[in-house]
Amino acid sequence: MTSVTAFAPATVSNVACGFDVLGFALDEPGDQVTATFAEAGGVTITAIEGDGGRLPREAARNTASVAALALLTKVGDPRSVALTIRKGLPLSSGLGGSAASAAAAVVAVNALIGANLSPETLVQCALEGERLGAGSSHADNIAPCICGGFVLVRSVNPVDIVTLPVPPGLTAVVIHPDLEIETAKARALLGTTVPLHDAVKQWANLGAFVHAVHTGDFDLLSRSLEDAIAEPRRAPLVPGLALIKRAAADAGALGSSLSGSGPSIFALCRGDETASRVAEAMTAAVKTHIGGEPQVYISRITGKGARVIG
């Protein structure tokens, strides 16, 4: 093969109670990266589409090229690769845009050179790009983006990913308002310490959530979807967040919170019919409290992660 195209899906990270450790993949939207052998130059970027000219074309400053170079370095492959990036994810949306580009790049390059690397190694290489894009090395977007489904990141060094079961009927609604929040700036709001009572509450909710998805206990899952650490500090970045969440709950959502660092907001629902009602209610609330025309995604939590499509 001389050219490979890979697709990597949007992801929801943190999932309320799992700051930096929980994440799941959506069916769509996503990014595409095409990797092609080049004459020379290491890893280069040929073109980027769908970003409005905002993303860096310099290889050292782009998440996809940094991740691709990490993979080539990992396996000791001296060949040069050119990347074409097609952004299907909105920028600074909280949907794992930097992770998707990095994940699509490593999956494409892995196939191009025939390396047949493990998912854990692909996550490790893609994390180099995520560190550039997000300002820190956290895998709650990268891991579900590459592995698919619902995951818990036990460790990033070494990479240790735990696949969680998805209870039948569990459906996600994601609303992306007409706002942008840079991940690095949102992380800066968190500080470096957490009050003990908040940490205990978070641990309890995370443990209960993991038990709930294993047993299919939707009531426990609903009670567990509470963020005691990140959301309270980031809520001022999203006008009317509490009212948007209330609209989701009134429409039947199990729970809701910021997707990643926001501004996108996710809700977990039991069944497609409830998800449709929740999507309508959240959309109306976003229009009222934020304005504009939000993008709306309804998706089962898919088992498919980043993959070769051509």
Residue 146 shares a structural domain with residue 295: no
Residue 9 shares a structural domain with residue 130: yes
Q: Which residue has the tokens 């980027």?
A: 48
Phi-psi group of 115: left, alpha or beta (phi > 0 → left; psi -120 to 50 → alpha; rest → beta): alpha
Residue 175 shares a structural domain with residue 293: yes
Q: With contact defined as beta carbons under 8 Å apart, do 175 and 264 qualify?
A: yes
Q: With contact defined as beta carbons under 8 Å apart, do 306 and 145 qualify?
A: yes
pLDDT at position 137 is 73
> What is the C-alpha separation between 183 and 247, in angstroms, rounded?
26
State the residue range of the domain holding 256. 170-300
Q: With contact defined as beta carbons under 8 Å apart, do 301 and 170 qualify?
A: yes
- Which DSSP helix (H) or strand (E) runs through 215? helix 196-215
Residue 229 shares a structural domain with residue 160: no
Structurally, the chain folds into a number of domains equal to 2
Task: Give the Cβ contact number of residue 191 at 10 Å.
Answer: 8
Q: Please name which of 17, 10, 307, 23 lies closest in space to residue 164, comparing C-alpha atoms.
A: 23
Residue 189 shares a structural domain with residue 140: no
Q: Please name which of 4, 20, 23 lies closest in space to residue 149, comparing C-alpha atoms.
A: 23
pLDDT at position 135 is 63
By the 10 Å C-beta count (0-12 exposed, 13-18 middle, 19+ buried), 232 is classed as: exposed
Q: With contact defined as beta carbons under 8 Å apart, do 152 and 145 qualify?
A: no
Residue 231 shares a structural domain with residue 126: no
Q: Which two tokens stand for residue 186?
A: 């949102």
Query: 289: number of CA atoms within 13 Å, CB side?
Result: 20
- Range 86-116 burial, b when 16+ CB lie within 10 A, else e: bbbbbebbbbbbbbbbbbbbbbbbbbbbebe
Residue 103 shares a structural domain with residue 155: yes
pLDDT at position 132 is 81
Query: Taking each helix axis from N to C terminus, what angle separates 119-134 and 63-75, rounded to the nearest 10 degrees?
Result: 140
Residue 216 shares a structural domain with residue 100: no
pLDDT at position 134 is 64
Question: The domain that contains 182 carries what CATH number?
Answer: 3.30.70.890
- Range 240-275 burial, b when 16+ CB lie within 10 A, else e: bbeebbebbeebbbbbbbbbbbbbbbbbbbbeeebb
pLDDT at position 183 is 78
Report the Cα 257 to chain-centroid distance in Å.
Answer: 14
Residue 122 shares a structural domain with residue 202: no
pLDDT in tens, the chain (310 residues): 799 999 999 999 999 999 999 999 999 899 999 999 999 889 999 999 999 999 999 999 999 999 999 999 999 999 999 999 999 999 889 999 999 999 999 999 999 999 999 999 999 999 999 888 666 678 999 999 999 999 999 999 999 999 999 999 999 999 999 998 887 788 888 888 999 999 999 999 999 999 999 999 999 999 999 999 999 999 999 999 999 999 999 999 999 999 999 999 999 999 999 999 999 999 999 999 999 999 999 999 988 899 999 8
